[in-house]
């Protein structure tokens, strides 16, 4: 077997449950070791793959620390280094591989190496062995590199879409760019198998987006990269025009599209009490799908007598629902049923970016997402039941990934029991629908939902409650929490869960011209981009 280089140190003690401790090689520098670094521990029978989770300084005798050498006593410092003073490193083994079976699949750690097992820096072959190579597998997608390495780390997209997933991090840590990377990978590598529906609250995924802190620099959106594979649905076509393109579909919703189930999760935003929501069901029982129009236009005293509801509750409900005055919401349907149009795009495999334009209020975002997702849920349940009945591959629904921001508003302990998003997170995997949730406050998400998250991509978080919540359902959390606490605020993330064999800290891949080029034929050529721009400008200015 090929000999390894770059010895970091040797194992001195540890346990299977608490991890291992390594004494640093005296020839090495403690400043070269970073929490999250990918290492290989060479046992007698197995190679163990793991992460550095902590680094600390120690001494063989406390007297040395009581009387440390002066700054000018360089020789004395060198004499002490290695034996008198040294560094110890906490390691968390994650996978093991038989040394005599190099082609075997890595397995979860069930034992530990013996005393003085050497610890080495991981090599490119180790990373490819563990995380796969996108050149060899169509289901793998390069998302970043391990710390201090230039070797690609890949997500297994086949496993990624099997469950709902999350991208977490405080504001300004690059969650949007991480999300755009992942979505690009799904469109590029899984087109035809998986389709995306993106609720784009801040208009960052469609045609283009401004680089955060980039002083005017812009990057390409999914429509610009993938052309006709992506359709932009817009709640405000004028806003889409101002940003240099035209929507594929203008979104208009009618009163009849709104059900009480879409309103109930908005109790906090509308400040509704439980009695008001119960009164809404009384109106529905009398007026059916025309309940909202009837409520908004009714004389409350007469309506209360008619439906036998409390007049004060109905009055409060009427006042609150009159706040839902959005330009895309109409008393009667305007044009085709836009949600049915969405379903037709999804069935064709066209990815959808739903832009909200200037309608960035949380109330608007929650309402629209609730309406659309409820209808999609109903449609996918019907499709799945038909497929199970016929067992015809042609009837199998196309797998759908729904991307939502501000996920804690949909998946809080109270809302998760009422919203369709909670249902999807818990059980919709069997109906071919999963979520990609984007959030800066994972502590606001229901613990049961968090435990169902398959893969987590976690950027920097500072709040202790968020750190605790984001690792819900994960083993070895103490070591991983220290790794999370050491992440840089930009372009670093911890990736763990179903789509990667072991947790790994990465420097995220750049979303730039090199990335566009790597997408190859999927991206628009310069000529196609120019033609698209000319067409869009003509649509905007009517020329």
User: Helices 274-287 and 311-321: crossing angle, nearest 10°?
Assistant: 90
444 in Cβ contact with 408 (< 8 Å): yes
Q: What's the helix, strand, coil split of the chain in %, to 5?
A: 40, 25, 35
Q: Say yes or no to pLDDT of 373 above 80.
A: yes
321 in Cβ contact with 296 (< 8 Å): yes
Question: Which two structure tokens, joined as six digits, stand for 125?
Answer: 């072959």
433 in Cβ contact with 194 (< 8 Å): no
The values of phi and psi at residue 52, to 5°, are: -80, 125
The enclosing H or E element of 518 equals helix 513-518
Choice among 119-128, 147-156, 376-385, 479-488 with the minimum mean pLDDT: 479-488
Hunting for tokens 């020839």 — which residue is that?
A: 27
Q: Residue 212: is it exposed, middle or buried by C-beta count within 10 angstroms (0-12/13-18/19+)?
A: middle
Taking the C-alpha atoms of residue 361 and residue 233, their distance in angstroms, rounded to an integer, is 18
pLDDT tens across 490-530, in order?
Answer: 889 999 999 999 999 999 999 989 999 988 744 444 444 45
Q: Say yes or no to pLDDT of 329 above 60.
A: yes
pLDDT given for residue 541 in this prediction: 47
Confidence of residue 216 (pLDDT cuts 50, 70, 90): low
pLDDT tens across 43-74, in order?
Answer: 999 999 999 999 998 887 776 766 677 766 66
pLDDT tens across 96-114, in order?
Answer: 999 888 788 899 999 999 9
Taking the C-alpha atoms of residue 481 and residue 17, their distance in angstroms, rounded to an integer, is 16
E strand intervals along 414-524:
433-439, 455-458, 492-497, 504-508
pLDDT tens across 394-420, in order?
Answer: 999 999 999 999 999 889 888 887 788
User: Pseudo-torsion of CA 426, 428, 429, 431, nearest 10°?
Assistant: 160
Q: Say yes or no to pLDDT of 232 above 90.
A: yes
Question: Which two structure tokens, joined as six digits, stand for 230?
Answer: 């992506």
pLDDT given for residue 69 in this prediction: 73
Q: Say yes or no to pLDDT of 536 above 60.
A: no
pLDDT given for residue 273 in this prediction: 83
Q: Which of 329, 469, 360, 464 is nearest to 411 (CA)?
A: 469
Choice among 128-132, 199-203, 275-279 with the minimum mean pLDDT: 275-279
Q: Say yes or no to pLDDT of 485 above 90.
A: no
Choice among 79-88, 314-323, 400-409, 451-460 with the minimum mean pLDDT: 79-88
Tell me the whole-structure pTM to 2 decimals. 0.88
User: Pseudo-torsion of CA 408, 409, 414, 420, nearest 10°?
Assistant: -100
Annotate 333-364 with DSSP letters as a single string.
--SS-HHHHHHHHHHHT-EEEEE-TT---HHH
pLDDT given for residue 521 in this prediction: 44
DSSP 151: P
Q: Where in the chain is the domain with CATH 3.40.50.300?
A: 161-245+342-541
Q: Say yes or no to pLDDT of 309 above 80.
A: yes
The predicted model gives 293-304 an average pLDDT of 91
Q: Which residue has the higher pLDDT, 178 or 543?
A: 178
339 in Cβ contact with 379 (< 8 Å): no
157 in Cβ contact with 499 (< 8 Å): yes
User: Pseudo-torsion of CA 151, 153, 156, 160, nearest 10°?
Assistant: -160
pLDDT given for residue 79 in this prediction: 62
436 in Cβ contact with 402 (< 8 Å): yes
Three-state secondary structure call for residue 446: coil
Q: Which residue has the higher pLDDT, 68 or 126?
A: 126
Taking the C-alpha atoms of residue 316 and residue 343, their distance in angstroms, rounded to an integer, is 35
Taking the C-alpha atoms of residue 501 and residue 289, their distance in angstroms, rounded to an integer, is 49
Taking the C-alpha atoms of residue 46 and residue 108, their distance in angstroms, rounded to an integer, is 12
Annotate 254-294 with DSSP letters as a single string.
EGGG--HHHHGGGHHHHT--HHHHHHHHHHHHHHGGGHHHH
pLDDT tens across 241-253, in order?
Answer: 887 788 999 999 9
Q: Which residue has the higher pLDDT, 392 or 530?
A: 392
What CATH superfamily classification does 161-245+342-541 receive? P-loop containing nucleotide triphosphate hydrolases (3.40.50.300)
Q: Which residue has the higher pLDDT, 85 or 281?
A: 281
Average pLDDT, the chain: 87
């Amino acid at each position: 077997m090929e000999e390894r280089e770059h010895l970091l140190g040797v194992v001195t003690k540890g346990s299977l449950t608490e991890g291992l401790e390594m004494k640093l090689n005296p020839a090495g520098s403690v400043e070269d070791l970073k929490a999250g670094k990918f290492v290989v521990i060479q046992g007698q029978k197995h190679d163990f793959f793991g992460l550095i989770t902590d680094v600390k300084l120690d001494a063989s005798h406390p007297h040395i620390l009581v009387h440390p050498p002066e700054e000018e006593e360089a020789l004395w410092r060198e004499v002490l280094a290695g034996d008198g003073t040294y560094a110890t490193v906490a390691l968390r083994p994650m996978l093991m591989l038989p040394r005599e079976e190099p082609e075997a699949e890595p397995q979860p750690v069930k034992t530990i190496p013996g005393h003085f097992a050497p610890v080495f820096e991981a090599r490119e072959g180790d990373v490819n062995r563990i995380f796969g190579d996108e050149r060899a597998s169509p289901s793998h997608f390069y998302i970043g590199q391990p710390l201090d390495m230039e070797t690609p780390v890949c997500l297994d997209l086949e496993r990624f879409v099997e469950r709902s997933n999350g991208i977490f991090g405080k504001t300004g840590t690059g969650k949007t760019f991480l999300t755009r990377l992942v979505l690009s990978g799904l469109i590029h590598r899984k087109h035809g198998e998986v389709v995306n529906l993106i609720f784009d609250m801040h208009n960052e995924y469609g045609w283009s987006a401004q680089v955060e802190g980039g002083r005017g620099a812009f990057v390409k959106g999914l429509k610009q990269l993938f052309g006709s594979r992506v359709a932009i649905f817009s709640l405000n076509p004028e806003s889409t025009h101002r940003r240099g393109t035209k929507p594929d579909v203008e979104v208009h919703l009618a009163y009849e599209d709104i059900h009480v189930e879409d309103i109930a999760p908005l109790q906090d935003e509308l400040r509704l009490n439980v009695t008001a929501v119960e009164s809404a069901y009384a109106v529905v029982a009398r007026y059916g799908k025309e309940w909202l129009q009837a409520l908004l236009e009714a004389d409350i005293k007469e309506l209360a007598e008619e439906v036998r509801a409390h007049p004060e509750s109905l009055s409060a409900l009427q006042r609150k629902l009159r706040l839902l005055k959005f330009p895309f919401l109409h008393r009667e349907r305007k044009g085709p049923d836009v949600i049915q149009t969405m379903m037709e795009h999804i069935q064709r495999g066209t990815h959808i970016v739903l832009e909200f334009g200037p309608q960035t209020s949380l109330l608007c975002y929650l309402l629209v997402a609730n309406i659309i997702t409820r209808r999609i849920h109903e449609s996918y349940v019907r499709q799945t039941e038909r497929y199970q009945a016929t067992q015809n591959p042609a009837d199998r629904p196309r797998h759908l990934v729904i991307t939502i921001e501000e996920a804690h508003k949909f998946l809080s302990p109270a809302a998760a029991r009422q919203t369709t998003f909670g249902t999807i997170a818990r059980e919709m995997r069997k109906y071919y629908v999963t979520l990609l949730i984007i959030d800066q406050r994972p502590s606001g998400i229901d613990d049961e939902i968090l435990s169902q998250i398959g893969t987590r991509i976690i950027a920097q978080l500072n709040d202790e409650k968020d750190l605790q919540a984001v690792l819900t359902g994960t083993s070895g959390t103490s070591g991983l929490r220290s790794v999370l606490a050491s992440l840089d605020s930009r372009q670093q993330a911890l990736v763990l869960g179903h789509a990667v064999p072991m947790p790994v800290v990465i420097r995220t891949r750049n979303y730039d011209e090199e990335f566009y080029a790597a997408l190859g034929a999927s991206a628009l050529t310069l000529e196609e981009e120019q033609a698209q721009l000319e067409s869009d400008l003509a649509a905007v200015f009517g020329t």
